Structure 1
């Protein structure tokens, strides 16, 4: 018997390319998925086009930036999750974010504040004895501040630190918290950016690291990105300043 039957995965920001591949892989493993996003029509189309069992995938409306709605969203869930994943993300060009605070604000709200808002609610529901794991999608951009993307990177750095503290907070309840620290992915969010092709990862490849997350806090998909991650962490400030 599949041990994942009757287990529920809640994916917040489920319209991202990585999140969609995660939906498919979780369903293949026997989980039921609640896919939540602002664009429910696109998610419905994705479920239909991929012939996913409608009894296994529920599509709900969720706005990461509508903080006041988050408690009602969670309370309205007919079943509470075993696994919760925050996959919502937003990116604008760093120069645009520097000159127009609205872009910077939206990155802060989607990448950090929305995650803190909904995950606090999920984590603090002690009546949900089934909760076993929380996964947040972060980025290598948050490892060190670099002049090309430090505003976006700061939101991801803050989210990673939040997840690290949440992991400690929930350890006594045996709930695992993982931070997926991700490099370049071939997704719609990165379309038009000049990125190194040899470092690009496919969404389904990254999704495997979500679906098969273990006990480690930091998960860095791809050995090339693991090397870059460790180099960034130890690189002297004067060398970081020379990076783009």
Structure 2
């Protein structure tokens, strides 16, 4: 724990269920946590209930308010060693196909907001602290499937961005990871009919984030690893038969 006492982690979109578990686990490893979210009231309540006030700073961050991102970063009292982009938005595919507002919201939160703030953070060469950037992506972005391809396209774009960012930052010894995640028992998936045998708990997924190694693609749970590799190699004719 002592080795991380002078290190900080910035969690963007920190009000998600997985992000809250990351706050707890980073705290347990000795990190100071900057938890940023659009809904700071809920976040402040979570921090208070878990007696984390001394080690967790709560800030307001709106992923889709692009013009505010530079000031948000400039105003950070401590530049982070680790950055986790956990902001996300999901609309059902049918709604996204008929309501561009829903599709646009997914594009802005899942991809555009990430590129906006992460470019600012990554290109600040004066921050000698930065050692890792972690983005939360999804198996929905591995192949286009008719049930969720609008959402999946935003995650595919995000994964591709992270892959290029990893190459860009390699010479500065900054690691970039993409968490390619399957079904999680979180509020974003409430109301969806999901296979219960494949649902992961937020604290389980958080462990893979907090303990991320050097590999670019990290797929929590062996069942999802199998699904990931099958999706990667499946012929288009068979992908078309998937829901």
Q: How does the TM-score come out when normalised to structure 1?
A: 0.99
| 1:51, distance to aligned residue in structure 2 (A) | 1.9
Aligned to 1:200: 199
Q: How does the TM-score come out when normalised to structure 2?
A: 0.99
Matched, 1:50 2:33: no
| 1:157, distance to aligned residue in structure 2 (A) | 0.1
Aligned to 2:165: 166
Aligned to 1:134: 133
Residue deviations 1:104-127 (CA, integer Å, cap 9, x gap):
000000000000000000000000
Return the alpha-carbon distance in structure 2 between the equivalents of residues 240 and 172 of structure 1: 38
Matched, 1:15 2:2: no
Aligned to 1:154: 153
Matched, 1:229 2:217: no
Q: Secondary structure at the match of 1:91?
A: coil
| 1:169, distance to aligned residue in structure 2 (A) | 0.1
| 1:6, distance to aligned residue in structure 2 (A) | 1.1
Q: Secondary structure at the match of 1:3?
A: helix
Matched, 1:103 2:138: no
Return the alpha-carbon distance in structure 2 between the equivalents of residues 84 and 124 of structure 1: 13
Residue deviations 1:9-53 (CA, integer Å, cap 9, x gap):
00000000000000000000000000000000000000111222x
Aligned to 2:187: 188
Aligned to 2:28: 28
Structure 1 unmatched ranges of 5 or more: none
Return the alpha-carbon distance in structure 1 between the equivalents of residues 206 and 31 of structure 2: 15
Return the alpha-carbon distance in structure 2 between the equivalents of residues 239 and 100 of structure 1: 29
| 1:85, distance to aligned residue in structure 2 (A) | 0.6
Return the alpha-carbon distance in structure 1 between the equivalents of residues 235 and 49 of structure 2: 49
Residue deviations 1:164-208 (CA, integer Å, cap 9, x gap):
000000000000000000000000000010000000000000000
Residue deviations 1:91-142 (CA, integer Å, cap 9, x gap):
0010000001000000000000000000000000000001000000000000
* Regions of 4+ moved over 2 Å: none
Matched, 1:39 2:42: no
Residue deviations 1:143-176 (CA, integer Å, cap 9, x gap):
0000000000000000000000000000000000
Number of equivalenced pairs: 243
| 1:55, distance to aligned residue in structure 2 (A) | 1.9
Structure 2 unmatched ranges of 5 or more: none
Return the alpha-carbon distance in structure 2 between the equivalents of residues 48 and 68 of structure 1: 30
| 1:213, distance to aligned residue in structure 2 (A) | 0.2
